Amino acid sequence: MASIDIRNVRKNFGVVSVLHGVDLSIENGEFVVLVGPSGCGKSTLLRMIAGLEEVTEGEIRIDGMRVNERAPKDRDIAMVFQSYALYPHMNVAENMSYGLRIRKAAREKITAAVSNAARKLELQPLLARRPKALSGGQRQRVAMGRAIVRQPKAFLFDEPLSNLDARLREQMRAEIKKLHRDLGATSIYVTHDQIEAMTLADRIVAMHEGVVQQVGSPLELYDRPANLFVAGFIGSPAMNFLSARYEVGAGTAGARLPDGTLIGLSSGYQLEEGAAVTLGIRPEHVEMSPASESRLRATVDLIEPTGFGIILHLGLHGLPFNVFTLDRAALTAGPTVTVAFPPQHLHLFDETGMRAFETSPQKGKG
């Protein structure tokens, strides 16, 4: 196991700068997920940790040792790719043992490591098969087995599940989580899928355009997103945003919508009276058919049953607005509905898109 330190790491491809100074400390045994939209630089960062990409500026340390100049094979880390990268001419056992064989490990050690990994990943019946005779999920399991047998200091995963269908992806996701629980190895996992990030991570690193936006536990990012990007990226269906002006009345703070409705807030904020703000509310937190005074009327544009719940696509002041509800009565909603925003579930962002700070202590979200 290893700790990994990333200090002010920058990456340029020619004149194009894709990482603008990343700082991150990963503890021994931690499962960290780098998440962000396509092109945000997460794979580049992972590849730099693996040694597959040069570091333009800054420093990467593994267990306190600078590794910038060290070849990938000398970093003692294993990488699992989306493409599996298995050798087609070798069977499963040979693929899994390859890393140890080229390091000239003792035969007994290799046999024990392969059978141990095969048992953990339920690959024993497949050891004599070639990759082409395996399903996508089985191939991905072999790729993980190959990583495990080396007992590396850390595992790096680059979108390992994106080639699998939805059901298999869920199953493999749980397997990776169990594997991490059993092995306790430091792991860095890259994905653009926020559900994968939420379910797997001890800590999530949300990235956008080569800059780390927020680092925290999954629920920290969900409950208190640091800015509009994280707020919109984490959570599905995505958070709704409304433009408003911040107002402070006699002891109460509110956000005034363009149509004049005042939305009550649960505390004051460190904002100027009249400041332009963005109000955020998650679809699952919107109250339907409320008794509240500050309710709003919205048009129903589309009703999407997901089985588990219902997504209502609404129009609020002509802008798209989503609600997620478990109440099946929503299936027959329309043509208009009333909604309200429970103050404890509101998020407020300032003009620059950063989360606004409360003036009074934040109460737990319920």
The single-letter DSSP state of residue 330 is G
Q: Which residue is nearest to ligand ATP (CB)?
A: 43
Q: Which of 24, 44, 143, 212 binds ligand ATP (CB under 6 A)?
A: 44
Q: Does 208 bind ligand ATP (CB under 6 A)?
A: no
x-or-dash string of contact with ligand ATP, 6-35, rule CB under 6 A: -------x--x-x-----------------
Q: Judged by CB, which is closer to ligand ATP: 39, or 184?
A: 39
In the region spanning residues 283 to 322, those forming contacts with ligand ATP, defined by CB under 6 A, are none
Shortest CB 218 distance to ligand ATP, Å: 19
**Rounded to an integer, what distance in angstroms lies between the CA atom of residue 361 and that of residue 264?**
17
**Rounded to an integer, what distance in angstroms lies between the CA atom of residue 152 and that of residue 174?**
21
Q: Which of 192, 208, 282, 355 binds ligand ATP (CB under 6 A)?
A: 192
Note whether 236 and 194 are within 8 A (CB).
Answer: yes
Note whether 253 and 360 are within 8 A (CB).
Answer: no
Q: Judged by CB, which is closer to ligand ATP: 58, or 309?
A: 58
DSSP 91-104: -HHHHHHHHHHHTT
Q: Which of 40, 77, 110, 348 binds ligand ATP (CB under 6 A)?
A: 40
**Rounded to an integer, what distance in angstroms lies between the CA atom of residue 23 and that of residue 248?**
38
Stretch that binds ligand ATP, among 38-46, 251-259, 289-297, 326-334 (CB under 6 A): 38-46
Shortest CB 37 distance to ligand ATP, Å: 7
Residue 9: how many CB atoms within 10 A of its CB?
23
Evaluate the CA torsion angle 158, 142, 140, 25 in order and state its sign.
negative
**Rounded to an integer, what distance in angstroms lies between the CA atom of residue 282 and that of residue 156?**
32
Residue type, 108: E
Q: Judged by CB, which is closer to ligand ATP: 44, or 95?
A: 44
Shortest CB 158 distance to ligand ATP, Å: 8
**Rounded to an integer, what distance in angstroms lies between the CA atom of residue 157 and that of residue 16?**
25
Binding residues for ligand ATP, rule: CB under 6 A, are 13, 16, 18, 36, 38-44, 192
